[in-house]
Structure 1
Amino acid sequence: MGRILALDYGFKRTGIAVTDEMQIIASGLATVPTKDLMPYLEQYFKAENVELVLVGEPKQMDNTASQSEGVILEFLAKFGEKFPQMQVKRVDERFTSKMAVRTMIDSGLGKKKRRDKALLDEISATIILQTYLYK
């Protein structure tokens, strides 16, 4: 079995989470500048056996696509060209940021640490991954 990787794709930063090889445990991996995402993924795919990539699908409350969906679709087209063998699935990411903030508060992080957008993106990616795993 290979790992499952989840991406919380953003304009500036992308949060990344990954499972263990048995696909049981979801863990935050990193937050990388979005401009550096493709080289990061290329290196990661060379080092680790990844069988599936999940990409958050931002939706409005009425189930329509959010304004960031166009940028994500552009990324997915480039991703498909670069990694044609990699399976990709989309996961509804509504409320992941709010859930990530709640997770940070519940874990006892102070206000200063909760302002860390990179940590928020990584936790959001982990929530996307957990949503997929525990469905």
Structure 2
Amino acid sequence: MSRILAMDYGEKRIGIAVTDEMQIIASGLTTVPTKEIFEFLENYLKEEKVELFLIGEPKQMNNTASESEKFITPFITKLKAKFSQTPIKRVDERFTSKMAFQTMIDSGLKKKQRQNKALVDEISATIILQSYLYNK
């Protein structure tokens, strides 16, 4: 089998999480500056087989698209063009940042460590991936 790679897209950086090859466990991988994501993915895909990209889908409480969707849509278009062999699925990402922050508190991270936005993005990507695996 191959991995599933999840991305929590942001204008500045993208949190990334992946599954193991058996697609059982979701683990945070890294956070990449948004402008470097395609170079990162090219290098990663040379080393690892990925069968699916998951992209967080930010929604309002009334189920309409969030403001940040206008940045994500062009990213997905470019992702499809560059990696046409890898399918893309969207996953509702409502509350993932809050859940990530709570996870950091629950795991005992100090206040200074919880201010690391890159870590929040990576944990958010992991939560997106975990929810996909749970509902798969």
User: What TM-score do the two structures reach when normalised by structure 1?
Assistant: 0.99
Give the corresponding residue for 2:57.
Answer: 57
Q: Note the aligned Cα RMSD (angstroms).
A: 0.4
* Equivalences, count: 135
For each residue in 1:64-110, what CA deviation from the matched residue of structure 2 results, as whole angstroms up to 9, or x when unmatched?
00011011010000011101111100000000000000000000000
Determine the C-alpha separation between the residues in 2 that align with 1:129 and 1:87: 15
Give the corresponding residue for 1:118.
Answer: 118
Determine the C-alpha separation between the residues in 1 that align with 2:50 and 2:57: 20
Identity of aligned residues (%): 70
Superposed, which structure 2 residues align to 1:73-112 within 5 Å?
73-112=73-112
Determine the C-alpha separation between the residues in 2 that align with 1:31 and 1:25: 18
Determine the C-alpha separation between the residues in 2 that align with 1:2 and 1:123: 21
> SS of the residue aligned with 2:119?
helix
Determine the C-alpha separation between the residues in 1 that align with 2:116 and 2:73: 26
User: What TM-score do the two structures reach when normalised by structure 2?
Assistant: 0.98
Determine the C-alpha separation between the residues in 2 that align with 1:76 and 1:25: 25
Superposed, which structure 2 residues align to 1:21-60 within 5 Å?
21-60=21-60
Whether 1:70 aligns to 2:70 is: yes
How far the C-alpha of 1:13 sits from its partner, in A, is 0.6
> SS of the residue aligned with 1:67?
coil
One-letter amino acid of the counterpart of residue 60, structure 2: Q
> SS of the residue aligned with 1:61?
coil
One-letter amino acid of the counterpart of residue 9, structure 2: Y
How far the C-alpha of 1:47 sits from its partner, in A, is 0.6
One-letter amino acid of the counterpart of residue 50, structure 1: V
Determine the C-alpha separation between the residues in 1 that align with 2:2 and 2:53: 11
One-letter amino acid of the counterpart of residue 2, structure 2: G
Determine the C-alpha separation between the residues in 2 that align with 1:81 and 1:16: 20
Structure 2 unaligned spans of 5+: none
Determine the C-alpha separation between the residues in 2 that align with 1:57 and 1:118: 18
Determine the C-alpha separation between the residues in 1 that align with 2:94 and 2:46: 31
